[in-house]
Amino acid sequence: MSQEFDKARQQAEKCLAQGDFAQAEAFFRQAAQIAETAFPAKDQRRCQMLSKLGESLSNQHKFAEAQQVLEQVISLKTEQFGPGNLEVAQALNDLAGLFYEQNRYREAVPLCTKILTIYERILGKDHLDVATIAVNLAMLYHTQNQYDEAEPLYKRALDVRTMKLNAEHPDVINVLENYATLLLAMGRLEEAEYLKTCVMGRVSGRMRSTMHDIPAFKRSP
């Protein structure tokens, strides 16, 4: 059965890479069914194939089916690992991504909030993955015009990425650009213009070091 699983998985991956999502769906579904019957309950190959099946369904805009599959993955991983595990966080992230793709931002927010809590507890508050999910959550709030909720998350991501990377890193610039857009929407034009200047590289290192003296850039508690 392991050989049958590997064959189905390889065919599925090949079809997915080629953009043949319908065939990928069929092979991933087959691989998941084999894994369910051939491998122990805690074997992760079934969840891996179901996650890929969800991706294939999403690529075909079969969003309702994809949601059901990804929710099944969350349920399986929660049962196996408990609700606060990184494996569960990854499954939650896949579902949040599906909601984001459909502009279902409100439904994605609680998922990203759970992911952030898991990452903070396991990885630590200054981990780059924490910054990434903070940006994602900030963007969800930003898109819904919930600026007060978005701002501290942008600031937090900016703090972590600046500390772990450097002021010129693309991931830092990305946060600065999003934050500048947020400040403009909030009517805080002076702060937004300063931030845009930082993005464009017209601020010296000495001036960069004073960023957190400006209200928008006060370090997060």
Domain membership of residue 96 (yes or no) is: no
Using CA of residue 176, residue 177, residue 182, residue 187, what is the dihedral sign?
positive
Q: Which residues lie closer than 8 Å to 109 by C-beta, 6 or more apart?
A: 137, 140, 141
Q: Count structural domains, the chain.
A: 1
Domain membership of residue 98 (yes or no) is: no
Domain membership of residue 15 (yes or no) is: no
* pLDDT surpassing 90 at residue 131: yes
CB 35 within 8 A of CB 43: yes
Look up the domain containing 157 and give its range. Answer: 153-221
pLDDT value of residue 7: 96
pLDDT value of residue 168: 80
Domain membership of residue 58 (yes or no) is: no
* pLDDT surpassing 70 at residue 12: yes
Domain membership of residue 18 (yes or no) is: no
Domain membership of residue 180 (yes or no) is: yes
Domain membership of residue 174 (yes or no) is: yes
- Cα–Cα dist 93/70, whole Å: 10
pTM of the model: 0.87
Q: Which amino acid makes up residue 63?
A: F
